[in-house]
Amino acid sequence: MLDDLKKLKKQALAEFEKLTSSEEVQDFKVKYLGRQGEFNKLLKNLKDIAIEEKPKVGKVANEVKQAILDKLESFGFQNDKESSAQGQSSDLTLPGLPVQSGSLHPNTLVQYQLEDIFQSLGFQVLEGPDLESEYYNFEALNIPADHPARETQDTFWLTNGNLLKTHTSAMQVRAIQKYGAPLRAIFPGRCFRYEATDASHDSTFYQLEGLMIDKDISIANLIAVMKELLKSVFNKDVKVRQRPGYFPFVEPGFELDINCLICGGQGCSVCKQSGWLELLPCGLVHPEVIRQGGLDPQEWSGFAFGLGLTRLVMMKYGIDDIRLLQGGDLRFLKQF
């Protein structure tokens, strides 16, 4: 049997040198090391030899097998034990397994669309920090510590006095201080409110703030931009209404509501049975905000708006519960 093993080794190594492709190497491996291969056929005769000869024959058999494996490994193959441990096929030349690709979140899809729209209108895209100071989030926006407007925003405060920003309006004065005037900019970002959740409210949501500072800006400029925005997003005429609204950082201020696209204005849980959805608070920038930015409100004016980006996503895709957007459910997200 020793002679047979040595003959097998010589034959296998000589045959290996003539191989030219991975397919031939794979056939070679099956021929010699497969379950019904030449090597295993020889080992079946091990039971017929004397007991005292078995250790010597076993040693030679291991050497023969290792010699063949060394040749295979030099070609890029691995033995079955190593392949199993590394979780990969023994044939590294085979095509890889398909990888499932992901997709953009609906919030991101709409944000990118809005950025394209506003960039075409000459607006730059700026992003601010999620962790904000009390000054930029409140005081610079004409909301001092004793202002009643603070009661409408339940805030996540940190022990060092900072907070998670409650609105993207916190970027208004930052942008004016850095870029001066004239200025056209939008500020998309994530906002945080410590409040109860329901179909239209969540503790984390997205807004998109818009700001334009120039000379002789009027309500007409604001309305023109808002109409262009809604037309571009929905690709159709959307019924809107404009009503007076109070925001400390604009004067005068307005609420621009859109007819609920979930229920068609009939009333549902998203619009709180009113048929309308508050989407776009806006107005002319308050002189105090312009002053906080380091500009003279007698020379410069502007408009600002705070678009509810998450609510816009719900209207665009017909999503009837805001909590789905942050829930991480792949069954929901794969639809986009």
Name the percent of the chain lying above pLDDT 90: 31
Identify the top-confidence range among 54-58, 70-74, 155-159: 155-159
Give residue-wise pLDDT tens across range 106-117.
999 999 999 999
Mean pLDDT score of the chain:
84
Give me the pLDDT at residue 95, please: 77
Name the percent of the chain lying above pLDDT 70: 94
Would the pLDDT of 91 be above 80? Answer: no
Q: Exposure pattern of 217-238 as b/e (b: 16+ CB <10 Å)?
A: beeebbeebbeebbeebeeeee
Summarize the confidence of residues 125-143 as an average pLDDT. Answer: 92
Contacts of 34 (CB under 8 A, 6+ apart): 40
CA 313/CA 323 separation, integer angstroms: 12
Give residue-wise pLDDT tens across range 241-251.
888 888 889 98
Summarize the confidence of residues 37-54 as an average pLDDT. Answer: 77
Would you list the domain boundaries of the chain? 2-86, 106-333
Summarize the confidence of residues 273-281 as an average pLDDT. Answer: 84
Task: Enter the CATH code of domain 106-333.
Answer: 3.30.930.10
Give residue-wise pLDDT tens across range 162-195.
999 999 999 999 999 999 999 999 999 999 988 8
Give me the pLDDT at residue 90, please: 57
Flag the least confident range among 98-102, 257-261, 311-315. 98-102
CA 242/CA 259 separation, integer angstroms: 11
Q: Provide the 10 A C-beta neighbour count for residue 127.
A: 12
